[in-house]
Amino acid sequence: MEKKTRKDYGAAGLLPLLIFLVLYVGCLAVFTIKGAKDPSSYMPRQVAILVALLFALIFFEPRAKFAKKMNIYLNNAGNAGVMNLSLIVMMAGGFSSAVAISGGQSSIVNLGTSLIPSQFLVPGIFLIAAIISLCIGTSTGTIVTMAPVTFSLVAAAHLNAGMAGAAVITGSYFGDGLSMIGGTTISAAAGVGARMRDKFLWQIKIAVPAAVITIIIYTLMSLNNSSASNIHAGSYNVITILPYLVVLILAVMGMDVVLVLALGTVMASAIGMALGKASLFACAKAIGNGMESMFWLAIFAMMVNGMVALMRHYGGIDWMVHVFTRHIKSKASCEALIGILSFCVTGAIVNNNISVLITSPIAKELGDQYQVDKKVLAGVISIFAVTASMVIPQDSAMMMALQLAGKSTNYLDLIRYMVYPVVLMGLTFIVNYINAKRSAA
């Protein structure tokens, strides 16, 4: 009879995750307090996860063969879901860069700015940021594009800096958690085994009403802004925006995302070359740079997935599920708890993509136990992850907004005008409660 070598470590099985959090979040907090220019660069996330991974491989089950533990890691780090995620996020980066070099990214900003009256620029900023983030799938790309424009408008049109800053931050995160080509959506859907199209269609029923309510509230607030003056928008070309629309429509229709991104990238490159914006090799270089910008997420996803598999093997995930299960009384409370977990992990890690990768396996375990629809799981994880990212002071979007705003606003002023995250979370709880009541009836 084969001797049983597996040991259930219980809570100790989560030590690799704790080590990662202590290294990454701890160093981030220390260097933020010290006033370092780029506090996240002192302990790179990939180094922190490597240390945690090595700890999981070396210090657990010391009598077991190292090769056996490596096989557990490798079989999960390189599974089909992770490989698919890696390919998609790299292609998404390439697509975004192809559209940018063809002029589509600046065109969509200038088009939106030219269509919106000056007194309604704040709700307009939110709307434009939301559309851009939905098209390009990243809050970072949106905030980099929109934040300088926003605070130029603040000075030129005499807008409320706190309200405008809050609008651009929250609008940038609208599409981050919703876009079919966004890392958050891809990671959440792949992590729980949901179809991205199903997750998108479920989440949009919450996100769009929340965005509409936010726009109405910002519009009502802007009615008092009688000092707003006219501004002049830059030039735009509607043709360069077409790849965004094609990708969005084809993805919603259910076409495989890999094919959608491939078509979108080819289309954007062709438009850029036809308009004389870039040569063939300039497009190729831009696509390559875009793919490289997503390498970290692909590699990190592999490392996290493998480490989570080791923690499951050591009994840590089962222990956490058991602890959470004690506080779950129904499907609705399961969804709420998963949302809270996603919010807390994002707040600690300060990166919604990473937090989704960590939260998804745990959420899948709980969701399977309480028969929560996979699209709901993926949607709840995304919603609460991006909500946390909107409000934490050390988030990159928040820090960029504060830096560009200068003395015109501060963190508390921005938080005061954060309408969208409050409405989004509120609607999510209401929808899940109503659905739970219908299921119980």
pLDDT at 185: 83
Of 15-19, 263-267, 423-427, 430-434, the poorest mean pLDDT is in: 430-434
Residue 4 resides in a domain: no
The count of other CB atoms within 10 Å of the CB of residue 65 is 10
**What pLDDT digit, counting tens, does each position of 310-334 carry?**
988 898 877 876 777 777 777 878 8
E strands, 322-402, are none
Residue 196 resides in a domain: yes
Rounded to whole angstroms, the Cα distance separating 165 from 168 reads 5
Average pLDDT over residues 75-91: 79
Residue 341 resides in a domain: no
Q: Higher model confidence: residue 140 or residue 73?
A: 73
| Domains identified in the chain, total number | 1
- Using the predicted structure, report yes or no on whether residue 2 has a pLDDT greater than 60: no
Q: Higher model confidence: residue 264 or residue 236?
A: 264
Of 134-138, 198-202, 219-223, 274-278, the poorest mean pLDDT is in: 134-138
Residue 131 resides in a domain: yes
Residue 340 resides in a domain: no
Average pLDDT over residues 279-289: 94
Rounded to whole angstroms, the Cα distance separating 83 from 100 reads 26
| Phi/psi-derived region of residue 179, left when phi > 0, alpha when psi is between -120 and 50, beta in every other case | beta
Residue 439 resides in a domain: no
Residue 68 resides in a domain: no
Say what percent of the chain tops pLDDT 70: 86
Rounded to whole angstroms, the Cα distance separating 238 from 439 reads 46
| DSSP secondary structure letters along 16-61 | HHHHHHHHHHHHHHHHHHTT-SSGGGSS-HHHHHHHHHHHHHHSSS
What's phi and psi for 394, nearest 5 deg?
-90, 5
Per DSSP, the three-state class of 406 is: helix
Residue 1 resides in a domain: no
- Using the predicted structure, report yes or no on whether residue 4 has a pLDDT greater than 60: no
Q: Residue 4 gets which letter from DSSP? A: P
**What pLDDT digit, counting tens, does each position of 192-246 carry?**
888 888 888 999 999 999 999 999 999 998 876 655 555 566 677 889 888 878 8
Domain containing 301 equals 78-314+384-423
